[in-house]
Amino acid sequence: MIDGGNDVRRRPQRTFLFLQGLASPFFKRLGKALKQQGYGVERINLNLGDRLFWGMPGSVDYRGRFEGWRGFLSAFMDTRGVTDLVLFGDGRPYHRVAIATAQLRGVDVHVFEEGYFRPNWITMEAGGVNGFSSLPRDPETIRRLAAELPDPPRPRPIQGSMPTRSLWDVVYNSANMGFPYLYPGYRRYRPNHPLVEYAGWIGRLMRRKAEARRAAAAQAALTANGQRYFMLPLQLDSDYQIRLHSPFSAMTEVVDFVARSFAAHAAPDAHLVVKLHPLDNGLVNRRRATHITAQRTGLGDRLVYVDGGNNPRLIDGASGVVVVNSTMGTLAIERGRPTIALGQAIYDLPGLTHQGSLESFWRDPTPPDLEFAAAFRKVVAARTQINGGFYSREAIEIAVANAMARLVGPAPAVSLAWTSENAFREAGAPVPGE
């Protein structure tokens, strides 16, 4: 049942409804900052992990089935006078319904994601990201917009904490696994059970040192011998950029597709380097799968697998980079390497990526126009990128301050300082300057 909020005279000027975020206190900090400036803040929890990481009074729990989500959310938005919807990721089933419901009502949608540019950035885009992005697609429009924009300030360096990120993830999933009866209708958006994923991670951690040595040796051999190679950085099977915005259902399909094309059309002395994503859960033995593909396609030692290595150095030495729609594509473009995107990507534009076929890419890859690449980055940064991060106290503080400036405008200096200092104290961290 949804109650309260019917008296229009008592409603704040804007009311922000938060849905699922990451296993991170970022949304909680952002919600507090909005409340401190007098805005309405609402939250719907879909599971116990959501509730724990929100941790603020007044949130509402949705315990019904997914089939009833649209009706519940529609009534909630109307009753509470929601003007803005805030969520992380626009591909989750609950969020796809929420975005459509909001757009029907003229509610502004603010989608957070990992940064289009890494590191130091996160994404906050209106309406949707990646394949649902509203960024301009016309090169001339991008050039014109870039010319009208001031040079962006240099971002503050962001240091994430992998142990902290892992701990928060375990806390979030443990709560959901331990008390599933509290939210009986909840449907997970990830394809694998958390315990299965953790088992895969443990196996990968046990192989980490050996894989790092192998990757270093492979990279040294590629650079020392001056071998011509192309690079294929993998994404995650669970990534909605693969599941929604590409013609592939899994990364094994990507490797097989690219390897077959490479075997048939690349120069006989060229190599193809398959690089594992650093956050791959290890459930698929990618090394073995790549070896099978190498034998099946006749590539043999020309198909090289690495789990580790230095991304910038590997990219700099590559004759070209093949991506589906990974942010590695933006890195490759900015470093002047020919790049081809096989899925929907915001950077798949004439002047940035190879616009011909994959077969032609192996023989005559088109390099990016670096002047246009700089203009593209300027526009994307101004419209969608926020300096900050999700996985350390300092990174979250920077992200919250910059998200607030984008959402509601700069706060008064005293108010912002109060918010920042108290967030540090709440987190048990020393306040800068004290």
Cβ of 434: how many Cβ atoms within 10 Å?
7
Q: What is the pLDDT of residue 228?
A: 95
Q: Model confidence at 421, in pLDDT bands (50, 70, 90)?
A: very low
CA dihedral sign of residues 302, 307, 308, 312: positive
Numbers of helices and strands, H then E, in the chain: 17, 12
Q: What are the DSSP E strand ranges found in 67-208?
A: 84-88, 108-114, 121-126
Q: What is the pLDDT of residue 322?
A: 98
119 prior amide bond cis, ω within 30: yes
CA 30 – CA 361 distance, rounded (Å): 44
User: What are the boundaries of each domain within the chain?
Assistant: 15-162+386-410, 209-375
Q: What is the pLDDT of residue 369?
A: 98
Helix H segments across 189-322? 194-206, 208-224, 240-243, 251-265, 286-297, 311-317
Q: What is the pLDDT of residues 195-241, one digit of tens each?
A: 999 999 899 999 999 999 999 999 998 888 778 999 999 999 999 99
- Class for the domain spanning 209-375: alpha beta
pLDDT at position 145 over 60:
yes
- State how beta strands 229-233 and 385-387 pair: unpaired
Amino acid identity of residue 423, one-letter, is A
Q: What is the phi/psi pair of residue 261, to 5°? A: -65, -40
Is residue 300 within 8 A of residue 272, CB to CB? The reply is: no
Of 5-14, 63-72, 154-163, 359-368, give the lowest mean pLDDT range.
5-14
Cβ of 366: how many Cβ atoms within 10 Å?
18
Q: What is the phi/psi pair of residue 339, to 5°? A: -135, 140
Is 322 exposed, middle or buried, given 0-12, 13-18 or 19+ CB atoms closer than 10 A? buried
Sheet holding 15-18, edge to edge: 60-61, 40-45, 15-18, 84-88, 108-114, 121-126, 385-387
Pick from 115, 134, 131: nearest CA to 123 = 115
Which tokens hold the place of 218?
A: 């492979």
CA 172 – CA 183 distance, rounded (Å): 14
Q: Model confidence at 12, in pLDDT bands (50, 70, 90)?
A: confident
Cβ of 312: how many Cβ atoms within 10 Å?
10
Is residue 125 within 8 A of residue 336, CB to CB? The reply is: no
CA 113 – CA 96 distance, rounded (Å): 15
Q: What is the pLDDT of residue 2?
A: 55
Q: What is the pLDDT of residue 148?
A: 96
CA dihedral sign of residues 393, 395, 398, 401: negative
Q: Model confidence at 429, in pLDDT bands (50, 70, 90)?
A: very low
Q: What is the pLDDT of residues 32-78, one digit of tens each?
A: 999 999 999 999 999 999 999 999 999 999 999 999 999 999 999 99
Pick from 431, 386, 215: nearest CA to 305 = 215
Is residue 86 within 8 A of residue 19, CB to CB? The reply is: yes
Q: What is the pLDDT of residue 340?
A: 98
Q: What is the pLDDT of residue 425?
A: 43
Q: Model confidence at 337, in pLDDT bands (50, 70, 90)?
A: very high
Q: What is the pLDDT of residue 415?
A: 33
Is residue 114 within 8 A of residue 327, CB to CB? The reply is: yes
Query: Any idea what the Cα angle at residue 36 is, between residues 84 and 3, rounded to 5°?
Result: 55
CA 408 – CA 31 distance, rounded (Å): 12
- Class for the domain spanning 15-162+386-410: alpha beta
Q: What is the pLDDT of residue 411?
A: 57
Could you tell me which residues are beta bridge partners of residue 111?
Answer: 87, 125
Q: What is the pLDDT of residue 104?
A: 97
Chain-centre distance for alpha carbon 204: 22
CA 395 – CA 337 distance, rounded (Å): 30
Is 286 exposed, middle or buried, given 0-12, 13-18 or 19+ CB atoms closer than 10 A? buried
